[in-house]
Amino acid sequence: MNEIVTIARVGHRGDGIADTPAGPLYVPYTLPGEVVSVERRGTRADLAAIEQPSPARISPACRHFGTCGGCLLQHWRGDDYAAWKRDLVAATLAEAGLEVAVDPLVPGRPGMRRRLALTAVRAGRGILLGFSERQAHRIVDIAECPIAMPALVAALPGLKTLAADLLGRKDPLRLVVTATAEGLDIAATGARKIDPRTHGEIVGRLLAGDYGRAARLSVEGEVVIAPRQPMVDVDGVMVALPPGGFLQAVAEAETAMAARVIEGIGGARRILDLFAGIGTFSLRLARSGAVHAVDGDAAAIGALAEARRRAADRHPVATEVRDLFRRPFQGKELERFDAVVFDPPFAGAKLQAEMLAVSKVPTIVAVSCNPATLGRDLAILVAGGYRVTRVTPIDQFLWSPHVEVVATLSRPR
């Protein structure tokens, strides 16, 4: 029997929350103030009908909305959605004990995502290629994706052909596809073993354009064929993208992040860039000072070093391959830097934050795609005497609960 509830707020995972006598009830695809009919399943519920819609409800941009788990908030009007995302960052930092001002959300735009992580599975005699359903392992076979660049959407039929050539009988195939100026960079994992005859067929199909305009195909990290070297533009410097290498998902968001990082370091001339990757920030920071760039990914650091050699208009960029989770910078290593920038993976950089907290580095800029671990790391730095001077959320992950954040800290004299 269905139950009528009123949605009080949207939670940090994007679900509407109704306060009921039995406790909070989580209802996906609902908005604050809505009266809805639901079918309860413990602490969660399936939406049966919207009895009284919110004035902030709008038509979703994608036909797959409601089944595909990639976007959860396409039905929310832009200004209300932006305010929620900004408040989400503020609340998460407050849970870490940080009562700090948070800037308005830097908005994202549809059609700008340059990288998709797709999954392919067999379904009878056909193949499904797309994203997982919300709270399920089933794959939604997508025909469109309004967050993605048009080149990626246009490539979906060709990528399904590629999936048919690489997919095994049981295990799913993962395709990470990046749009570059030279064409698509396709990195496959979970592929079946490719024998020599199949290898030749795949190469021939790629060269014939059966997989779309592909610049490179790698399988399990090994390059199968690369008619062109995929390159990405980082502040006017062309960087060779390693197969399957990390890249910020949206170029506009990367530019916005970099602008806050550069503003945050101020006049620093000796800069340490930790978790530097291919040089997203390093190459920009090198316009004003000498940079020491560090990452555990040797291929990414190699790409950065090679790109810097082609950039005659920058200050020196020294590079170092180092596992920062095991060997964070500490003590005297930090004394020679005026500013430190760190942009760790989702898990954050707890040990590195602890080392920075006892340092005398005047300025730190922290970048994160996970407000929870960012809050933890910032709290460590604040406990060590730093002060958070600015926090800016950036909507790199449009219509999802995820958000990028740039935070600037200074050590009072």
pLDDT tens-digit readout, 382-391: 999 999 999 9
Same domain, 366 and 401: yes
> Which residue, 232, 265, 289, sits at the end of a domain?
232
How many domains in the chain?
3
Same domain, 185 and 222: yes
Same domain, 264 and 282: yes
Same domain, 322 and 398: yes
Residues belonging to the binding site are 248, 275, 295, 343
What's the CATH number where 282 sits? 3.40.50.150
Same domain, 289 and 254: yes
- Give the pLDDT of residue 304: 97
In a domain, residue 70? The reply is no
In a domain, residue 74? The reply is no
Same domain, 49 and 186: no
Q: CA-to-CA distance for 74 and 400, rounded, in angstroms?
A: 8
Mean pLDDT computed over 89-114: 97
Same domain, 217 and 268: no
- Give the pLDDT of residue 125: 85
Q: CA-to-CA distance for 146 and 48, rounded, in angstroms?
A: 26
In a domain, residue 350? The reply is yes
> pLDDT tens digits for 341-352?
999 999 999 999
> pLDDT tens digits for 13-68?
999 999 999 999 999 999 999 999 999 999 999 999 999 999 999 999 999 999 99
Tokens of 245: 């290498």
> Which residue, 42, 57, 72, sits at the end of a domain?
57
Q: Residue 191 is part of which domain span?
A: 115-232
Same domain, 274 and 295: yes
User: Which residues are annotated as catalytic?
Assistant: 369
Specify the DSSP class assigned to residue 267: T
Specify the pTM.
Answer: 0.94
Give the confidence band of 244 by pLDDT, cuts at 50, 70, 90: confident
Same domain, 104 and 120: no
SS3 of 156, please?
helix
